[in-house]
Amino acid sequence: MPTSKLAVLPYVIFLTMLLSTSTIAQESRPAKETGTKQKTESPAKMKKKTVQLRQQMEIARLELEVSELSVSLRERKAKESVRSAKFAVEMAQQTLSTFVHSEAPVKIKESKISFDQAKNRAELAKDELNELIAMYNADEFAEMTKELVLKRGRRNVEFSQRRLAVQAEKLERLQKVELPKKQHELENKLRQAQAKLADSNLEAKKTAIEIKIMKIKAANKIKNLASDLKEASEKLAKIGANAQ
């Protein structure tokens, strides 16, 4: 919120300047338009007008200083916005590239290892069961133990085969769903960052033009005021001379 307020500040100053310029113009212009009535203006009035014009000049100069400061502020912010957008694009590109070339292949490899381990475990469970069966075949007395141990062995085989099936599903889901989805998300993030960079570039160009306009207007205002002041000063001098 404070950032957006700051961003608006230059525009507020700019508008204030425009308004004040038009006010001054409105105030000074009648003097020009009523040039035919100059002869009727009293010296006191002219003196007052001259003082007012001098004050307006002083304010206009100060306002110009303020606008110069706000200009540099806007320029800096526009540059920072572009730089930040460029950085975001670079990061998004790097994240996508890392994912495509390293992260995704490693995840697939890891998942394949888990799958191969599960496959190996299933084979081992079968081999172990066969070993246990062979062990008990030679023993006639340990029937109770044999039943318990062989049942456990058969369950081990069953669980290891079920675990293998789960690992196969996980590998397939990773390859066909999860990794493509994540890649799509990262590509989208890159596109968003690139769009933001383009916006920032346009915004910077727009700001540069607005600043140019603002400078011209401010300069014109001072120029007009100076002209009005000169005119008023000359009139006042003429009145003073006529009075002598």
Binding site for other proteins (CB under 8 A): 124, 127-128, 131-132, 134-136, 138-149, 151-152, 155
Nearer to other proteins, 116 or 143 (CB): 143
Which of these, 116, 17, 128, lies nearest to 66 by C-alpha position? 17
Least separation in angstroms between residue 126's CB and other proteins is 10
Alpha helices in 99-178 (DSSP H): 104-137, 143-173
Least separation in angstroms between residue 115's CB and other proteins is 21
Nearer to other proteins, 64 or 124 (CB): 124
Least separation in angstroms between residue 163's CB and other proteins is 15
Between CA 15 and CA 13 the distance in angstroms is 5
Nearer to other proteins, 135 or 198 (CB): 135
Least separation in angstroms between residue 116's CB and other proteins is 18
Least separation in angstroms between residue 145's CB and other proteins is 5
> Taking a C-beta distance cutoff of 8 angstroms, is the pair 204, 78 a contact?
yes
Nearer to other proteins, 69 or 135 (CB): 135
Nearer to other proteins, 90 or 139 (CB): 139
Nearer to other proteins, 124 or 222 (CB): 124
Least separation in angstroms between residue 150's CB and other proteins is 10
Least separation in angstroms between residue 80's CB and other proteins is 58
Torsion angle, CA of 226/232/238/244, rounded to 10 degrees?
-120
> Taking a C-beta distance cutoff of 8 angstroms, is the pair 122, 164 a contact?
yes
Between CA 32 and CA 204 the distance in angstroms is 40
List Cα–Cα distances, 69 to 5, 56, 73, in angstroms. Answer: 17, 20, 6
List Cα–Cα distances, 187 to 82, 100, 116, in angstroms. Answer: 20, 10, 31
- Cβ neighbours around 122 below 10 Å, total: 21
Instruction: Name the token pair of 107.
Output: 């995840």
> Taking a C-beta distance cutoff of 8 angstroms, is the pair 225, 24 a contact?
yes
Nearer to other proteins, 76 or 152 (CB): 152
Q: Is 41 helix (H, G, I), strand (E, B) or coil?
A: coil
